[in-house]
């Protein structure tokens, strides 16, 4: 409920800021673009709800000798949070990199805003998608506010540059970095840097957000904050693709989750459907159980743990009967393992 209200207010503020000077004309069919003379860039209009902003079509990516992605078919739609989950090395970051046009497809295709990524120029692409890298680095000690303002660079010379200050302030407030706006980036902790990088990405205001493990360095409060921001952006009409390790977060906040396993998509759908014991236990090679939250009913993903901490080796599909034992009394299994 609260989610919807937050989303609605967000939508209205965004629309007012974005449709200021030259109101981009809309047509019922897909995103219409408007030409601005300077820099031969085409400023995108707001995407229609449900429009495919990024698509991977039979995507194969090879890094060295290793085929990291083998036949990925995936669509990120406007208005949707799509979580990419899966074990280490499953190809999540590679997939995100391919969608971001960082990595070339060995075969197949990646389309952004309806066109193959290779057809967009770098400045054009920067108006359409923003990318949060896994680790935030900076060669020189720029102050935080300047780093966030770098996110506005793609809009320089367009009428939307008028919104720069407002976009920077809003993004910094959303990522809770306003308090250290004047401090040099190099003086921040890992979690603070991660939030500054996120603020930069938010300030870019691209309709497609690609976030690679945005919660990795963050404390509990800020993990929730980041995913609430993802929801808000999706509610405002953006497409958010986010790589997550925490399946609980993915279950709670994503509209859709794609489980990657060995360079393929093992499952793709709403978390409540995709996150089930057998699949996750097999993919992660770790028995897990999925329980409904006692109050909200949202799926909770918990590894099966033995009381003395001994590893539980049941790689293939033990979870079904294991969970039968443990799900009766939370945390107190009735059978003592050997």
Partner 1 sequence: MLWNVRLPRVVLALLVGASLGCAGALMQGVFGNPLAEPGVIGISAGAAVGAVAAIGLGLSFLGNWTITACAFVAGLVTVSAVYLLSRNGGKTEVVTLILTGIAVNAFAGALIGLFVFFADSGQVNQITFWQLGSLAQATWPKVLAVLPCAVAGLLVAPFYARRLDLLSLGERPARHLGVDVERLRLALILVVALLTAAAVAVAGVITFVGLLVPHLLRMANGPGHRFLVPGSALAGAVVLVAGDLAARTLAQPAELPLGVLTALIGSPFFFWLLRRTRRKQGGWA
Site of interaction with partner 1 (CB under 8 A) = 100-102, 121-127, 129-131, 133, 137-143, 146-147, 150-151, 153-154, 156, 204
Which CB, 241 or 288, lies closer to partner 1?
241
Task: State the nearest-atom distance from the C-beta of 13 to partner 1, in Å.
Answer: 24
Task: State the nearest-atom distance from the C-beta of 226 to partner 1, in Å.
Answer: 18
Q: Which contacts of 172-178 are long-range, i.e. CB under 8 A and separated by 24 or more positions?
A: 172/144, 172/145, 172/148, 172/199, 172/203, 174/199, 174/202, 174/229, 175/199, 175/202, 175/225, 175/226, 175/229, 176/222, 176/225, 177/144, 177/148
Task: State the nearest-atom distance from the C-beta of 309 to partner 1, in Å.
Answer: 33
Pairing of strands 66-77, 52-63: antiparallel
Task: State the nearest-atom distance from the C-beta of 281 to partner 1, in Å.
Answer: 35
Task: State the nearest-atom distance from the C-beta of 166 to partner 1, in Å.
Answer: 19
Which CB, 213 or 289, lies closer to partner 1?
213
Which CB, 125 or 251, lies closer to partner 1?
125
Q: Are 287 and 321 in contact (CB under 8 A)?
A: no
Tell the residue number behind the tokens 């004047």, with chain if given. 182
Which CB, 134 or 327, lies closer to partner 1?
134
Query: How many other CB atoms are found less than 10 A from the CB of residue 325?
Result: 13
Tokens representing 308?
């003395």
Which CB, 10 or 152, lies closer to partner 1?
152
Task: State the nearest-atom distance from the C-beta of 1 to partner 1, in Å.
Answer: 35
Which CB, 187 or 324, lies closer to partner 1?
187
Please calculate the CA angle 70-72-77 and round it to the nearest 5 degrees.
165
| DSSP annotation string for 161-194 | GGGHHHHHHHHHHHTT-GGGTTSBGGGS-HHHHH
């Amino acid at each position: 409920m609260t989610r919807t209200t937050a989303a609605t207010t967000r939508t209205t503020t965004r629309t007012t800021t974005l449709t200021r000077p030259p109101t981009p004309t809309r047509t019922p069919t897909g995103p219409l673009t408007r030409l601005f003379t300077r820099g031969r860039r085409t400023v995108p209009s707001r995407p229609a709800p449900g429009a495919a902003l990024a698509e991977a079509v039979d995507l194969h990516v090879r890094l060295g000798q290793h085929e990291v992605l083998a036949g990925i078919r995936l669509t990120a739609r406007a208005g949707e949070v799509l979580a990419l989950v899966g074990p280490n090395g499953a190809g999540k970051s590679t997939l995100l990199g391919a969608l971001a046009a960082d990595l070339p497809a060995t075969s197949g295709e990646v389309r952004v805003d309806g066109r193959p990524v290779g057809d967009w120029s770098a400045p054009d692409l920067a108006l359409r998608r923003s990318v949060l890298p896994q680790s935030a680095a900076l060669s020189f000690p720029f102050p935080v506010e300047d780093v966030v303002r770098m996110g506005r660079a793609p809009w320089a010379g367009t009428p939307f540059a008028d919104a720069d200050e407002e976009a920077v302030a809003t993004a910094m407030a959303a990522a809770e970095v306003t308090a250290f706006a004047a401090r040099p980036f190099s003086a921040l902790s890992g979690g603070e840097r991660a939030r500054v990088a996120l603020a930069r990405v938010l300030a870019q205001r691209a309709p497609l957000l690609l976030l690679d493990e945005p919660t990795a360095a963050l404390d509990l409060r800020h993990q929730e904050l980041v995913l609430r921001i993802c929801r808000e952006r999706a509610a405002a009409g953006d497409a958010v693709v986010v790589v997550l390790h925490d399946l609980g977060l993915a279950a709670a906040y994503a509209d859709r989750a794609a489980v990657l396993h060995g360079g393929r998509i093992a499952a793709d759908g709403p978390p409540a459907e995709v996150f089930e014991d057998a699949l996750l236990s097999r993919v992660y090679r770790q028995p897990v159980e999925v329980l409904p939250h006692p109050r909200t009913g949202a799926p909770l993903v918990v590894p099966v743990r033995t009381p003395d901490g001994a590893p539980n080796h049941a790689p293939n599909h033990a979870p079904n009967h294991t969970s039968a034992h443990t799900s009766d009394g939370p945390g107190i299994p009735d059978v003592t393992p050997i």
